[in-house]
Amino acid sequence: MRIMCLNGWGGTLHERLLPYLAETAPEILCLQEVVHSPATDKARLTYRDGAHILPQRANLFAEICRALPAHQAVFCPAAQGVLWDGETAIPSQWGLATFIHRDLPVIGQVQGFVHKDYDPDGYGEHPRSRSAHGVRVHDAALGRPVSVTHMHGLRDLRGKMDTPERAAQARRLLDLSAQLTRPGDLSVICGDFNVEPASDTLRQIAEAGYTELVTTGGHPGTRSSHYTKPGRFADYMAISTPDAVRGFEVVTDPEVSDHCPLVLTL
C-alpha cells in the first residue's frame, strides 16, 4: 500500500499536479488546501487576503475526483468564504480531502476540527479554522487494518513557533486518531503541520508512540523551489510501526506544489 500526503496549494500547479496524481494513484491520498466551488463552472478564481493574492482552481476537488476514477473521495471543508472572478465574489469552500482506492474496504472514519469550528460566513481571521480527517481500511496484503489521519495545521502570521493553539491542535489530532484506531492497527498521522522539526507538535506525536519519517530519515525539507520564504519544513508523516515501512520518499521531482509529496510504502 502507498500513502501520499500533499498540500495541493489550491491547484496553483494543476497542469503538473493532476497528471502526477493520475499516474501515481496512491491507494490513499491525503490532500490539504483543496478548493470546492460548486456554485461556478469557472476553471480559475482568485484568492485575496490583503496583499496576498493567489490563483486557485475553482473546483480542484472535482478535478482530482476525475483524475482518480478508481478512488472514493471525502471532502472536509474548514470554512466557506469567497474567491473572486474579476470583481464578482464566488462562494467557495476550502479544506482537505481524502481519496481511497475502491479496492480498500473503509471500515472506519473520523472527522473533526483541531482549531475552531466550521465557519460558513468567511475564512475568518488568522489563525483560521482547521479540520482533520481519518480513515481506517483493511489491507488484505498486510492482513491488518491501517488507519490514516491527516490535518492542515494552523498558519500563524508570526511564524511557525510553538503556541498554545498549536499545542491544542496536536492533542486534538492525536485524540481523533485514537478514536479511529483499534489495538493491532498500523496507524499513520500526517499532514502539513506548519511547524518546525523541533516543535511541541512532533514531541507530542513521538510521546504517543509514533516515529516521524521526515526528520528521522534526514530529509533536508519538504518544500519545493516554488516556496521562496525561509524555512524548508512544513509536512510530516509519522507511523506507529516503523518495521512496516518498505519505503519513504520526499518527492522533489516533479514539483507539483510549493510542498513536496510525502510517499510512504507499507
Domain ranges of the chain: 2-265
The pLDDT of residue 127 is 86
Confirm if 80 and 35 have CB atoms less than 8 A apart: no
The pLDDT of residue 52 is 83
Distance between CA 224 and CA 253 in Å, rounded? 9
Nearest to 91, CA basis, from 118, 58, 113:
58
Which segments of the chain have a pLDDT < 50?
none
Give buried/exposed letters for 44-75 (b at 16+ CB in 10 A, else e). Answer: ebebeeeeeeeebbbbbbbbbbebbeebebeb
Class of domain 2-265: alpha beta
What percent of the chain is modeled with pLDDT above 90? 92
Residue 175 host element (H or E) = helix 164-180
The pLDDT of residue 130 is 96
Nearest to 95, CA basis, from 41, 135, 37, 26:
37
Adjacency order of strands within the sheet including 44-49: 52-57, 44-49, 71-85, 88-101, 28-36, 2-7, 262-265, 247-250
- 139's grid cell: 489491507
The pLDDT of residue 157 is 84
What are the phi and psi torsion angles at 209 (to 5°)?
100, 15
